[in-house]
Amino acid sequence: MRVTKGLASLALGALVALAVTGDADAQDKKKIYLSLSYSGNSWQSEAANIVKALAKTPPYNDTVELIEVISGTDPQAQISDYESMIANGADGIISFPISSTALNRTIKRGCEQGVLFFMYDATVTEPCAYNISYITSGFGENTAQALVNELGGKGKIFLSRGVPGNSVDERHTNGAKHIFDQYPGIEVVSEYYSYWDDRTTQQETAKALAAHPDVDGIWAQAGEYGAIEALRQANPDRLIPITGENSNGLRLALANPEDQAKGLKGVSAGSPPAQSGYAFKLMMEILDGKRELKPMNIQYPLPWVPADAVKVCEGDTFENGCNVFPEGKVPSSFVTEVFNPELLPELSLVSALEGEPTPGATIQPLAADVVVAAPNEPGINCQRCEPPADLYKLTKIEPTVKP
Amino acid sequence: MSLEQDMDTSAGVDTRAASRFGSEAITIAVIFGLTIVLILGSRFISPAFGGWGQTETILFLSSFLVFCSFGQGLVILVRGLDLSIASMITLGGVLTTTWLAGSNEGLWYVVPAILVVSAAIGSISGFGVTMLRIPPFIMTLAMGIIIYSLCLGYTQGTPRGYPAPALADLMRAHFLGVPAPVILLLVFVAIAVVLQSWTVLGRRLYAVGNNPIAAHVSGLSTNKLTIGAYAISAMCAGFTGIALAAYANGATLRMGDDYLLPSIAAVVVGGSSILGGKGNFLGTVGGAILLTTLGTILAALGIEQGWKTIIEGAVILVALIILRESVYEAIRVWMGRSSTG
Amino acid sequence: MSAADTTPMTDTAQASDKRRLLTGLASQGAVLITVVYVLLWIIYASEQPSALSAYSIESLLNNSLPLMLAAAGQTFVVLQGGFDLSVAGIISLSNVVVAVYPVEGPFGALVNLAMVVGIGLAVGATNGFLVAYMRIQSIAATLATMIICQGIALLILKAPGGYVSEFISYELTGSLFGVVPVAAVIGAAVAVIWLAFRRTNTGIALYAVGRDAAAAELSGIDVRRARFAAFCWAGVLYGCAGYMLSAQTATGNPSAGEPFLLLCFAAVALGGTSFSGGSGGVIGSLIGAATLMLMQKVLFSTGVSSFYTGVFQGVIMILAVLFAAFVQYMSRSRGNR
């Protein structure tokens, strides 16, 4: 038992020392927690890096104490971490929520204690939390219409989905099916889950290709670059129209004349990591008393880059309308939509990759009328609510073929 | 459980070795038979199925599972379990892309270096299990969490770089009309079968798994052998990671997640005992191919995910019921009768 | 595991002897992990003074209870010498059922409880039948039933949603008379039931089968029945774990059970139950599970919370086991002298 006691007092001593030094420089700063889930793709780290970079950009470098917490993929762990953050006197929590519903009670309790909750990309249905997300902007239906247009209204297609039992995947797929169902000529021959991961997409697409080598198009969520790799593996000379999210690999391929000649067409849209930065700036403006934010659900615009709009960047930011980086500068699975010249002019590639501020940049205020409220979507951003009648209205593309 | 089965078959001590050999052969035959039935039957689902093209895809995709299941099988053979496989695959993939950084230069030393690093990590797990007597479940689970976290930190969440073009080309190459990865699979299986079933090392691992105390008394260094099994397992997982990175032309941090449970399933469906000491690698290969075939067929079915999942579980269950010991017994008795009568 | 190695494993000693031995072994594992748990608590409380507030304790217990119940169930199967992967499937299925078919009021809570117990019992009995009577390896049989349960859960609820009845989500996560957290009462109840169960014939048979099935059979124990019972108990406890998880999250999620799969084995191992069967006990697993959830708090409060969290998590798990083994070794060597 003596050993135990010795150990305990040693550990205690060390911890007390830690605690004292830790608290010294934390005065007068806003205490912000960044709570992450890691599903393992580069999207998560880019989104986190953007917040870290902004927190280091003047004047936030003097006014914000940002603490990053990774909760893995278990909602129970994130609940526990939220509780700790509230107990530690957080001013705000900016987070990628692991579950759209399981965290609600903890969040509600935090709100009652005056903690601001900002969710980016994924959402929660608790009404006291802000949701900053592109999910309501119609990724599924718009990309589906783009694919239908490319295929002339008929053909066999694959749906490469996200994670089973996930509300985001469900929303995207419902939107897409709403379009596909209008075209009797479109036949969904295979539908598989790719976990928003390049390598899983590649294997699952390869399996589907074994059954349907004559597929005409692929509608994909994140991980779409894996679908291109699978097609190349199966037949190096034939590609087909693909719609997918914002990977550097897809955009480069869309703009590559060789790949175009083999049959690759499509559009790159989907989840931008830049949402986290937008959420962070909105939150800070509220905390600094510069903004009052009425709507709790705020829409982030859907990035939309068809093949003819792809433009390779020469520098480290999106300048002159460019939207993809040259091969070798970033991995193929890198998600390009880390920038937004209008909302986040402070960022450059070093922010997205390393979480470091752009030298010389300072925080630019958001325009007063910048906020666009998101429509209600049950299970996504509200519970027991009615969706608008035109939920799946097309916003980015017109149908060019009649059903 | 193995004790009980021995008791039930009541074959007597003398014939046990022979009967075991026979039952292993039957397991392997049945499991490959089931796979072939599945492949042929899948013709009803898609006209493109049931041919060489589909078989090629299945062999190709199952090769990754076969690689890591070999190591898992060895660890299970010596009464352990390796839960660090998923993270070790990720580590292999991440090191392949970051160390090679898209160039062929250094290929000759990077690949062996990754295998050595993996084996070293596996040895640490083995050391913890044998010398420190930490339960394998905790040791390998903790090791997996640690390695994953190191991968996360090392890549800062974004795995960079590409594997060597030579590796990526290899995954797409064909020799005499057969895809190179399928040939790689055959070579790997040949080496692994020889290692496990025909070498002194293999026989000693069986001895340790059958009865560690007896193996120790008879002069085998059981600890070293067990550590060796964990090292080989980690090395196989690292190798799987290299192959996957070459196939996907890049690495992701969850690239190993899909292999942990399937690697255990392949070993157990393939007729090995989870309690150690019993099993044959060819059975594991059959198990891996069976599981991949099932996945391929399910991917082509146009039904709800819930039903797909239920069918997957049900088919595994049916396979397990068919592959039961008592069924072999019946087959053996029937074959014995028909040959004498 | 080391405990099992030192016990004479020969055969059926007299029941009373065995009982004493078992009590000793089980309590030893539980005592060691309790020491680890208290140590972690001291670190946590010294780092974060609010840890001792009634609310913090209540929320920590609420957070820990589902894993504690799952680990308690798993212990039954591990004790008889097997693995039960269906834990993930049963928890998902129970959670989804409670959220899709909520029944309000205290009576409704009982109805919902009956549903999850029914699910757990049905799946557990299936597992027990496959393992005990069909002689399929437990890890393989339960893998299949886990997958099937996940499929059914997905059919019932496609994406997270549904509502858990208010009585379950508020009363069962609150405190009795505003003082004693309900979660603590439930945890204690499981411990008491276990202590009683262990002394029954089935309880004794469980240990005997896990230690040496052949010897147990010879001494007249119905090995199959004991195995079957273990899986049924396990299933019921997983169902309750899903029930309490629903109470905490107040909604359903078709993949809610997945995180429990590896964690509940880790909890059982931390609690000192041997995976070769026949030694250990439920109380150790309960505290083992609580330790894992407390670890999350400790990691947070000590500021270890970036990319390298996992390194500390892994190292603490290994150290906890080593520490328990070390204390055991010390006490044994002292006793021998």
CA distance B6 to B89: 37
Q: Which CATH number, 1.20.1300, 3.30.70, 1.10.3470, 2.60.40, labels domain B16-333?
A: 1.10.3470
Q: Cβ separation of B254 and A191 shorter than 8 Å?
A: no
Q: In chain A, what residues touch B45 (CB-CB under 8 Å)?
A: 211
A61 and A152 inside one domain: no
Asked if the C-beta of A200 comes within 8 angstroms of chain C's C-beta atoms, the answer is no
A149 and A206 inside one domain: yes
Render pLDDT for C52-75 as a digit per residue (tens, 0 to 9): 888 889 989 999 999 999 999 999
User: pLDDT exceeding 90 applies to what percent of chain C?
Assistant: 55
A96 and A152 inside one domain: no
A150 and A223 inside one domain: yes
Render pLDDT for C237-264 as a digit per residue (tens, 0 to 9): 999 999 999 999 988 999 899 999 988 9
Render pLDDT for C126-150 as a digit per residue (tens, 0 to 9): 999 999 999 899 999 999 999 999 9
Asked if the C-beta of B310 comes within 8 angstroms of chain C's C-beta atoms, the answer is yes
Residue A109 lies in a domain: yes
The radius of gyration computed from the CA coordinates of chain A, to the nearest angstrom, equals 22
Q: Cβ separation of A167 and C254 shorter than 8 Å?
A: no
- Could you tell me the pLDDT band of residue A363, with boundaries at 50, 70 and 90? very high
Render pLDDT for A51-62 as a digit per residue (tens, 0 to 9): 999 999 989 999
A286 and A216 inside one domain: no
- What is the pLDDT, as a whole number, of residue A93? 96
Mean pLDDT of the region C100-111? 93
Q: Cβ separation of A233 and B159 shorter than 8 Å?
A: no
Mean pLDDT of the region A275-304? 93
- Could you tell me the pLDDT band of residue A39, with boundaries at 50, 70 and 90? low
| Strand ranges in C124-189 using DSSP code E only, listed in sequence order | 175-176, 180-181
Q: In chain A, what residues touch C161 (CB-CB under 8 Å)?
A: 101, 167, 379
Asked if the C-beta of C300 comes within 8 angstroms of chain A's C-beta atoms, the answer is yes
Given strand A116-120, what is the order of strands in its sheet? A64-70, A30-36, A92-95, A116-120, A130-133, A297-299
Task: Write down which residue in A269, A286, A315 finishes a domain.
Answer: A269
Mean pLDDT of the region C284-290? 95
- What is the pLDDT, as a whole number, of residue A10? 45
User: pLDDT exceeding 70 applies to what percent of chain A?
Assistant: 92
Chains that touch A (3 or more CB pairs under 8 A): B, C
For residue B85, what are its two tokens?
Answer: 């496989």
Q: What is the DSSP string of A324-360?
A: BPPBTTB-TT-BSTT-BTTTBTT--HHHHHH--PPTT
Asked if the C-beta of A349 comes within 8 angstroms of chain B's C-beta atoms, the answer is no
Q: CB under 8 Å to C24, separation ≥6 — which residues?
A: none
Does A159 have pLDDT greater than 70? yes
- What is the pLDDT, as a whole number, of residue B340? 57
A151 and A111 inside one domain: no
User: pLDDT exceeding 90 applies to what percent of chain B?
Assistant: 47
Domain count, chain A: 2
Q: Does residue C317 contact residue B146 with C-beta atoms inside 8 Å?
A: no
Q: How far is A48 from chain C (nearest CA, A)?
A: 11
Mean pLDDT of the region A74-96? 92
Q: How far is CA A216 from CA A158, A177, A186, B300, C180, in A?
A: 8, 17, 10, 15, 63
Q: Cβ separation of C39 and A80 shorter than 8 Å?
A: no
A143 and A125 inside one domain: no
- What is the pLDDT, as a whole number, of residue C329? 75
Render pLDDT for B110-132 as a digit per residue (tens, 0 to 9): 999 999 999 999 999 999 999 99
Place of tokens 């169930």: C73
CA distance A144 to A163: 19
Torsions phi, psi for A299 (to 5 deg): -90, 135
The sign of the dihedral angle between the CA atoms of A230, A232, A238, A242 is positive
Which A residues 52-81 touch B at CB under 8 Å? Answer: 70
Asked if the C-beta of B317 comes within 8 angstroms of chain C's C-beta atoms, the answer is yes
**Between C50, C248, C254, which is nearest A87 by CB?**
C50
For residue A208, what are its two tokens?
Answer: 């589907």
**Between B8, B149, B274, which is nearest C310 by CB?**
B149
| Residue of C249, C313, C327 to mutate when probing chain A, most A C-beta within 10 A | C249
Q: Is the preceding peptide bond at A345 cis, omega within 30 degrees of 0?
A: no
Q: Under DSSP, is residue A156 helix (H, G, I), strand (E, B) or coil?
A: strand
Render pLDDT for B51-96 as a digit per residue (tens, 0 to 9): 787 888 899 999 999 999 999 999 999 999 999 999 999 999 999 9
Q: Does residue C230 contact residue C77 with C-beta atoms inside 8 Å?
A: yes
Q: Cβ separation of C159 and A75 shorter than 8 Å?
A: no
Render pLDDT for C165-181 as a digit per residue (tens, 0 to 9): 988 988 888 888 878 89
Residue A308 lies in a domain: no
Q: Under DSSP, is residue C53 helix (H, G, I), strand (E, B) or coil?
A: coil
Does A2 have pLDDT greater than 60? no
Given strand A266-269, what is the order of strands in its sheet? A186-193, A155-161, A217-220, A242-244, A266-269, A304-306
Q: Cβ separation of A166 and C250 shorter than 8 Å?
A: no
CA distance B5 to B19: 12
Does A392 have pLDDT greater than 50? yes
Q: In chain B, what residues touch A48 (CB-CB under 8 Å)?
A: 157
Boundaries of every domain in chain B:
16-333
Render pLDDT for B145-185 as a digit per residue (tens, 0 to 9): 999 999 988 888 778 888 889 998 888 888 888 889 999 99
Which residue range is the domain that position A246 belongs to? 137-269
Place of tokens 């001895």: B207
Domains of chain C: 2-331 (1.10.3470)
A282 and A262 inside one domain: no
- What is the pLDDT, as a whole number, of residue C1? 37
- What is the pLDDT, as a whole number, of residue B338? 65
A252 and A180 inside one domain: yes
CA distance C324 to C309: 23
- What is the pLDDT, as a whole number, of residue B19? 55
Place of tokens 């308690």: C72
Q: How far is A213 from chain B (nearest CA, A)?
A: 7
Q: Cβ separation of A84 and C158 shorter than 8 Å?
A: no
Asked if the C-beta of C297 comes within 8 angstroms of chain A's C-beta atoms, the answer is yes
CA distance C32 to B173: 57
Mean pLDDT of the region A72-95? 91
pTM for this predicted structure: 0.88
Asked if the C-beta of B173 comes within 8 angstroms of chain A's C-beta atoms, the answer is no
A365-372 long-range contacts, CB within 8 A, separation 24+: A365/A285, A365/A290, A366/A278, A366/A281, A366/A282, A366/A285, A366/A291, A367/A342, A370/A343, A371/A282, A371/A293, A371/A295, A371/A298, A372/A298, A372/A299, A372/A301
| Residue of A39, A158, A203 to mutate when probing chain B, most B C-beta within 10 A | A203
Average pLDDT of chain B is: 86
A242 and A126 inside one domain: no
Q: Cβ separation of A74 and C327 shorter than 8 Å?
A: no
Q: Is C102 left (phi over 0), alpha (psi -120 to 50) or beta?
A: beta
Q: Under DSSP, is residue A118 helix (H, G, I), strand (E, B) or coil?
A: strand
- What is the pLDDT, as a whole number, of residue B288? 95
Residue A66 lies in a domain: yes
CA distance C244 to C240: 6
For residue B112, what are its two tokens?
Answer: 């062996």
The sign of the dihedral angle between the CA atoms of C208, C213, C215, C219 is positive
Does A115 have pLDDT greater than 60? yes
Q: Does residue A368 contact residue A111 with C-beta atoms inside 8 Å?
A: no
A191 and A152 inside one domain: yes
Render pLDDT for A180-239 as a digit per residue (tens, 0 to 9): 999 999 999 989 999 888 889 999 999 899 888 899 999 999 999 999 999 998 888 999
Q: How far is B284 from chain A (nearest CA, A)?
A: 21
Asked if the C-beta of A21 comes within 8 angstroms of chain C's C-beta atoms, the answer is no
For residue C279, what are its two tokens?
Answer: 């030694």
Mean pLDDT of the region C271-289? 89
Q: Burial of C42 by CB count in 10 Å (0-12 exposed, 13-18 middle, 19+ buried)?
A: middle
Chains that touch C (3 or more CB pairs under 8 A): A, B
Does C50 have pLDDT greater than 90? no
Q: How many CB atoms lie within 10 A of CB A16?
A: 12
Render pLDDT for B185-221 as a digit per residue (tens, 0 to 9): 999 999 999 999 889 999 999 999 988 889 989 888 8
A64 and A211 inside one domain: no
Does C234 have pLDDT greater than 90? yes
Higher-confidence position of B275 and A97: A97
Render pLDDT for A309-341 as a digit per residue (tens, 0 to 9): 999 988 888 888 889 999 878 888 889 998 888
What residue in B sits closest to C273 (Cα-Cα)? B135
Does B244 have pLDDT greater than 60? yes
Q: Cβ separation of B128 and C318 shorter than 8 Å?
A: yes
CATH number, domain containing residue A285: 3.40.50.2300
Strands A116-120 and A92-95 turn out to be parallel
Q: Cβ separation of C160 and A102 shorter than 8 Å?
A: yes
Q: Cβ separation of B307 and C155 shorter than 8 Å?
A: yes
Q: CB under 8 Å to B333, separation ≥6 — which residues?
A: none
| Residue of B82, B94, B141, B151 to mutate when probing chain C, most C C-beta within 10 A | B141
Does B255 have pLDDT greater than 50? yes
- What is the pLDDT, as a whole number, of residue A40? 58
